[in-house]
Amino acid sequence: MSSDDKTLRKYDDILEEDNHMPRWWLVILFGSIVFGFGYWLAYHTTDTFPSPPEVYQADVAALKKQRATANPTSEEALTTLAASSEAIAEGQKVYAGTCAACHGANAEGLVGPNLTDKFWIHGASGTAILKAVAEGFPDKGMPAWGPVIGDTKARNVTAYVLSLKGKNLPGKEPQGDPVE
């Protein structure tokens, strides 16, 4: 057998040469092995990167937050806004300029009902209060403040009123149905 016979083989009249693999194939092969090892090391053995369940929980939390802020008039969003001291402070400023004339400086009720007791005429939920602020009750003397003050200020006033609920300040006699 000559040296040519070692590198050349013939099978079924097909001449096979003993060539090396192309270098780019080898680069991809060894690069994939190195990448696979690095991926395994980073994601499965160390805490370098968050695990897939942690990423999923973070995505779910972000989606819940996005849904709450996407519909700023939902009960959940208004309750969250009522916990914000900035929103309450802004709402108090708007309340002093627009609502205090009828509901009193402390929401104890003058011409309008007391907003600090547990009795509510048109509902005590955040969405009901926002609707009352935005649309008003012209037949009862309350103007629609939504077009005048805008959506953001109406939500802030709602947050302020929600923060006053249950304070039971002395003022106008109870009106409406008791709400717990």
pLDDT tens-digit profile of 121-146? 887 777 888 888 888 888 888 888 88
What is the spatial distance between Cα 79 and Cα 41, in angstroms, rounded to a whole number? 44
Would you say residue 2 has pLDDT above 60?
A: no
**Does residue 54 form part of some domain?**
no
For residue 131, the 8-state DSSP code is H
**Does residue 146 form part of some domain?**
yes
Which amino acid makes up residue 21?
Answer: M
**Does residue 51 form part of some domain?**
no
32/100 same-domain check? no
105/171 same-domain check? yes
Q: Outline where the chain has alpha helix (H).
A: 3-7, 23-40, 52-70, 75-82, 85-98, 100-103, 126-135, 146-149, 151-164
Provide the Cα torsion 72, 76, 79, 80; round to 10°.
-70
What is the spatial distance between Cα 32 and Cα 26, in angstroms, rounded to a whole number? 10
- Across the chain, mean pLDDT equals 82
The domain that contains 93 carries what CATH number?
1.10.760.10
**Does residue 61 form part of some domain?**
no
Can you tell me the mean pLDDT for 66-90?
A: 75
pLDDT tens-digit profile of 94-119? 888 888 888 888 888 788 888 888 88
The pLDDT of residue 24 is 96
Number of domains in the chain: 2
Using alpha carbons, select from 68, 57, 169, 153 the residue that is nearest to residue 113: 169
The pLDDT of residue 22 is 92
152/97 same-domain check? yes
- Name residues whose C-beta falls within 8 Å of residue 118's C-beta, 6 or more positions apart in sequence: 124, 165, 166, 168, 174, 178, 179, 180
What is the spatial distance between Cα 27 and Cα 77, in angstroms, rounded to a whole number? 54
91/160 same-domain check? yes
pLDDT tens-digit profile of 40-66? 888 888 888 887 888 899 999 888 777
Which range marks the domain in which residue 33 is found? 3-45
81/38 same-domain check? no
